[in-house]
């Protein structure tokens, strides 16, 4: 499956014109300029598996990789590659539980609409009855 065939995005400049980040586009803003992204189609389970197996995600720059996977409901690349991309894009360590408990916050941070949470904010995402903090 061609990666460009499974990925379609809608960008701010022309909401009626669909683009792929894997080729030239008439739009000056590609997926790599992630703050402009408005909507992304969801991959089916079969498409997500095919996309992961194709290795097309390896050709994406870190910003595109991070936002593409953040916008998808299904994992479509190895989690460690996704985690690395988000960490590099945000310029901070990203705790695994943030992906499940603060997806909207991570997306807002990636788009420059929110600042990085404090360690206390990140820790507060965990249920208090399941959290043990050991001071050194």
Say what the pLDDT of residue 39 is.
65
Question: How many independent structural domains does the chain possess?
Answer: 1
Q: Note whether residue 135 is domain-resident.
A: no
Within a domain: 109: yes
Domain extent for 10: 3-130
Summarize pLDDT for 25-34 with one digit per residue, the tens. 333 334 444 4
**73: which 2 tokens?**
């409901």
pLDDT, residue 68, reads 94
């Amino acid at each position: 499956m061609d990666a460009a065939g499974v990925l379609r995005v809608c960008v701010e400049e022309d909401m009626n014109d669909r683009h792929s980040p894997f080729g030239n586009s008439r739009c000056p803003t590609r997926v790599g300029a992630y703050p402009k992204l408005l909507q992304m189609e969801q991959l089916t389970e079969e498409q997500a598996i095919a996309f992961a197996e194709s290795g097309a995600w390896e050709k994406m720059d870190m910003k595109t990789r991070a936002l593409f996977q953040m916008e998808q409901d299904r994992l479509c690349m190895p989690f460690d590659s996704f985690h690395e991309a988000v960490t590099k894009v945000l310029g901070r360590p990203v705790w695994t539980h943030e992906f499940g408990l603060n997806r909207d916050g991570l997306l807002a941070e990636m788009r420059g609409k929110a600042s990085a949470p404090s360690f206390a904010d990140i820790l507060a995402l965990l249920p208090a009855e399941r959290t043990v903090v050991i001071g050194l």
